[in-house]
């Protein structure tokens, strides 16, 4: 796994030739038990690294298209699998999340509307690090964008949902599920995207 913007964050990625960008997963290391977000399959090297960082206690899924290797990793580690409440019919999770939930200290949940799945979530960690699934992404380094219009179920609702995140005044990093992460000045980059709506 790769070291990210702060010592508590690690990531692993897979390049997707069809979309010409990387898919990402994030590990948040905590003394109370580590958390994985939208976990992709792990290489032997990355699995050994993950295990060396302590027990995995929680796996968070942003949307049903990002289940990825979540069920397998939960079965292997005993971690609790969390998913979006609005996508309960399509996921086999142990616990469900919705707007405003705080399942762990320092972890805030946002429910985003208008994406390609009905209940996509974004996760804000300690007010500074935003982890996104499909709706907020980056096809070019240093810039954020929305999922393409053709895949949005409701563009206006998607824009409104994302605009609410501009109230995260301490935001520093945006760790996208698809495309380039933003490690510095995340709020500024997010506001630049919103200004272009």
Identify any residues that bridge with 34 across adjacent strands, giving them in sequence order. 56
**b or e along 152-169 (b: 16 or more beta carbons within 10 Å of the residue's beta carbon)?**
beeeeebbebbeebeebe
Q: What pLDDT does 69 receive?
A: 97
Could you tell me the domains of the chain? 2-195 (3.60.15.10)
Q: What pLDDT does 25 receive?
A: 98
Query: Left if phi > 0, otherwise alpha if psi is -120 to 50, otherwise beta: which for 8?
Result: alpha
CA distance 86 to 184: 31
CA distance 28 to 144: 22
Nearest CA-CA partner of 82 in 95, 64, 92? 95
Q: What pLDDT does 196 receive?
A: 94
* Model pLDDT for residues 110-154, shown as the tens digit of each residue: 999 999 999 999 999 999 999 999 999 999 999 999 999 999 999
* Model pLDDT for residues 47-101, shown as the tens digit of each residue: 999 999 999 999 999 999 999 999 999 999 999 999 999 999 999 999 999 999 9
pTM of the model: 0.97
């Amino acid at each position: 796994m790769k070291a990210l913007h702060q010592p508590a964050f690690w990531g692993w990625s897979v390049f997707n030739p069809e979309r010409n960008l990387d898919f990402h997963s994030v590990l948040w290391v905590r003394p109370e038990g580590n958390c994985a977000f939208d976990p992709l399959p792990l290489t032997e090297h990355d699995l050994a690294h993950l295990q060396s960082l302590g027990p995995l206690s929680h796996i968070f899924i942003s949307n049903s298209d990002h289940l990825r290797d979540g069920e397998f990793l939960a079965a292997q580690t005993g971690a609790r699998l969390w998913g979006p409440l609005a996508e309960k019919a399509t996921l086999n999770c142990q616990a469900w999340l919705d707007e405003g939930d705080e399942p762990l200290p320092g972890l805030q949940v946002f429910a985003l509307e208008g994406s390609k799945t009905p209940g996509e979530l974004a996760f804000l960690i300690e007010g500074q690090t935003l982890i996104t699934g499909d709706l907020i992404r980056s096809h070019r380094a240093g810039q954020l964008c929305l999922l393409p219009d053709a895949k949005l179920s409701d563009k206006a609702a998607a824009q409104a949902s994302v605009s609410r995140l501009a109230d995260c005044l301490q935001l520093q990093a945006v760790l996208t599920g698809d495309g380039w992460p933003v490690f510095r000045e995340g709020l500024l980059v997010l506001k630049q995207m919103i200004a272009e709506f």
